[in-house]
Structure 1
């Protein structure tokens, strides 16, 4: 399904325009070194440390994409399966259930070859299906509000497509109906003005490819290509080319067969990366914007940039190999 050869960091310059894992491996190596106890990410506010499950899952995807640091990915999943960590992220299943995080965690389990129907003693797939509304939308069950969006719907389709029952057609139709007139996707459903965003469009494209709606994915792929910068980068909100948007867009372009545009995105990411000449503490890291190695943003930027560097799409991603 996914085949990657192992290369060394001293590869010839020509490899900058191919989908070999050398640059992704370098980035994954830096990302792994940032993990607490080699298993998780944490945030600190006011002297209090909080678990960062979302970034930890992003790292699991990044390691699987780069085909490296498998032991870090395994430890991360074991940490995520701890009851207090799992319930703090996806909800307790009774009082709170969050569709987006449940779907994202289920997909991470599938990528790692773990049964998502029995993850940390929780049936993530069953819980996710319970959160589908008659309209096809996956919604949260929480007294704190509704946080579901295009990412939620996309991750749900990606995870459920890998199950025996598959993804519900109504769910994919609901996603397609949310598309803006220009072909891209907004972040939130039901807004008075539909404004397309790069990150959400990249996720929606991959979900549609996974469930076989290729003509619908092609519409959004054309929009992505139309907003790509001349240097290969993509930007959201401010429009400035950045690693997170370019990583996701590059991954979607590769999954959708837009190889030329995907290679341009990869070249942009390589230009951001701290190489062997960088400060040893930043070697391999990919800041979100050029030269700005912010410790609070670079880890997530690196994790998502790896997706564009290696080019393996979510519909096919596996840690095997």
Structure 2
């Protein structure tokens, strides 16, 4: 290379930057960590895209051995790939499968999983699919031939349902969406699509679920009165995305609560114990104010690194059985970047979907690979 054209590629930051969505809103700006702090994200992506895990390069199964896709976990994996940018062709393959009406081993599609267009449409699941479309710069109003944003709006409950109908726990909830996590996904999809007006009732309902004394959110809808790190981080990311300062104090209070829950080793308590999932979501939440919570984020990243295995995957929790878990690994890889779901963006321009392997070709897995 002659000296006129000679350039050196800058080293990749431990926490890659993110591009704000076209709809505007706050942008998460994670702090770049020193080398060696946090898990190896390339190895993590390698685990998530390994043929033994990502079937046909297109979806993760439910573990029952029948080839039934776990569509929610598949989208989680896609979020992780989008956050890192380490294998955009694999990400393109997943997105094309989902948007193209791809069928799993039992003939089910993304539409079957979300219930879109049917009597039991699940607003949170539809919102999750819409958020994936937005994250990879696809049109959520025409994803797999469906207007996902209109479907999310249609799934907003106008009033509580009466028994035996349990579709709507409250005004502003999404139909058949049983958790704060699902509620948050629907709101993020609407706000990123510029539908703040349509999202007013869901936003108000989510805000009403916050515990006034602590600033935490419960995990389930209707609320069981518990306080959950994962859900609190997700709700914080959601309300931080809403234009204006109406929810700024609520977000600040929730982040303070999350930080106070950190364990001495840097982890966070979750349903499974000292949880990888919870630590990763805590990193995403605390990164909304990365300067203030830099020490907590660094400790959490070190904890995540301690739970990464040789194959690149992550344990579910510090306690109990060791071994890499796909769901925990997807959350750990994406969460470790510190990028909020509200601002996650990854262009697929210039990418090529990976060829789908022949069903007659066995997957060869080398022990320890």
TM range (shorter): 0.7 to 0.9
Which residue pairs with 2:285 in the alignment? 252
295, 303, 306: which one pairs with 1:268?
A: 303
Is the partner of 2:269 in helix, strand or coil?
A: coil
Which residue pairs with 1:312 in the alignment? 339
252, 255, 262: which one pairs with 1:228?
A: 262
Return the TM-score normalized by structure 2. 0.74
Which residue pairs with 2:252 in the alignment? 218
Specify every segment of 5 or more residues in structure 2 that has no aligned partner in the other structure, as ranges. 1-9, 15-32, 102-107, 160-170, 349-369
Tell me if 1:16 matches 2:33: no
The C-alpha deviation readout for 1:261-300, integer Å capped at 9, x for no partner, is 22211111011112xxx3xxx2x111112484446xx111
**Do the aligned residues in 2 keep the contact of 1:184 with 1:223 (CA within 8 Å)?**
yes
**Do the aligned residues in 2 keep the contact of 1:187 with 1:197 (CA within 8 Å)?**
yes
Q: Quick one: distance in 2 between partners of 1:5 and 1:97?
A: 45
**Do the aligned residues in 1 keep the contact of 2:283 with 2:338 (CA within 8 Å)?**
yes
Q: Quick one: distance in 2 between partners of 1:55 and 1:113?
A: 20
* Distance of aligned partners of 1:211 and 1:5 in 2 relative to their CA distance in 1, 3 Å threshold: farther
Q: Quick one: distance in 2 between partners of 1:222 and 1:16?
A: 27
Q: Quick one: distance in 2 between partners of 1:50 and 1:245?
A: 27
- Within 5 A, what are the aligned runs for 1:26-65? 26-33=43-50, 34-45=53-64, 47-65=65-83
Aligned length: 294
**Do the aligned residues in 2 keep the contact of 1:149 with 1:189 (CA within 8 Å)?**
yes
* Distance of aligned partners of 1:5 and 1:255 in 2 relative to their CA distance in 1, 3 Å threshold: farther
Q: CA deviation at 1:173?
A: 1.8
Q: CA deviation at 1:16?
A: 3.1
Which residue pairs with 2:186 in the alignment? 156
25, 34, 47: which one pairs with 2:42?
A: 25
Q: Quick one: distance in 1 between partners of 2:188 and 2:237?
A: 8
Which residue pairs with 1:203 in the alignment? 234
**Do the aligned residues in 2 keep the contact of 1:307 with 1:313 (CA within 8 Å)?**
no
Q: Which has the higher contact order (CA 8 A, sep 6+)?
A: 2
Which residue pairs with 2:210 in the alignment? 179
Which protein shows a greater Rg? 2
Q: CA deviation at 1:90?
A: 0.9
Q: CA deviation at 1:243?
A: 0.9
Q: CA deviation at 1:164?
A: 2.7
Tell me if 1:237 matches 2:237: no
Q: Bigger CA drift: 156-165 or 124-133?
A: 156-165
Q: Quick one: distance in 2 between partners of 1:88 and 1:293?
A: 33
The C-alpha deviation readout for 1:101-147, integer Å capped at 9, x for no partner, is 1011100110011101101001000000011123652322xxxxx34
Task: Provide the aligned C-alpha RMSD in A.
Answer: 2.3
Is the partner of 1:202 in helix, strand or coil?
A: helix
Q: When you count helix as a share of all residues, which structure comes out higher?
A: 1
* Distance of aligned partners of 1:75 and 1:273 in 2 relative to their CA distance in 1, 3 Å threshold: same
**Do the aligned residues in 1 keep the contact of 2:276 with 2:315 (CA within 8 Å)?**
yes
Is the partner of 2:274 in helix, strand or coil?
A: coil
Which residue pairs with 1:123 in the alignment? 147
